[in-house]
Amino acid sequence: MTTENCYARIGGDWDGVLSRLGSEARVSRFLRMVPGDASFQTLSDALARGDVNTAFRAAHSLKGLALNLGLTPLAVSAGSLTELLRSGQDQGADGLFQEVRDSYDIIVAAILEWEGGSCHG
């Protein structure tokens, strides 16, 4: 399977990311960095501590990462959580964080599978 097919599998914006980054090789290089990025873990830890400011910054970073890489489901869910946390409150964050976690888990699993060779074209 090609990188484009992997994007289709996760509901990503292949055309948009290819346009921004210019080549499949560049998309692949940046996509491989997603599982190692600390934003998701920082977000999770900050929410567990009730640290709204750190959670906001982490959610905002995760949203930016997802937008730049065309990871649409994660960009949407992280964007919703970012806007909630922007207010300085975390009431209602649990449900939104679950949406972020679900999107993140699907995307990371697909990337790891793709890196393992079963999605390479």
As to burial, measured by CB atoms within 10 angstroms (0-12 exposed, 13-18 middle, 19+ buried), residue 58 is: buried
Q: pLDDT tens for residues 82-113?
A: 999 999 988 999 999 999 999 999 999 999 99
Task: Identify whether the C-beta of residue 3 lies closer than 8 Å to the C-beta of residue 114.
Answer: yes
The DSSP code sequence of 29-74 is HHHTTGGG-SHHHHHHHHHHHT-HHHHHHHHHHHHHHHHHTT-HHH
Q: pLDDT tens for residues 13-60?
A: 999 999 999 999 999 999 999 999 999 999 999 999 999 999 999 999
Q: Rounded to whole angstroms, how far apart are CA atoms 37 and 108? A: 11
What's domain 3-115's architecture? Up-down Bundle (1.20)
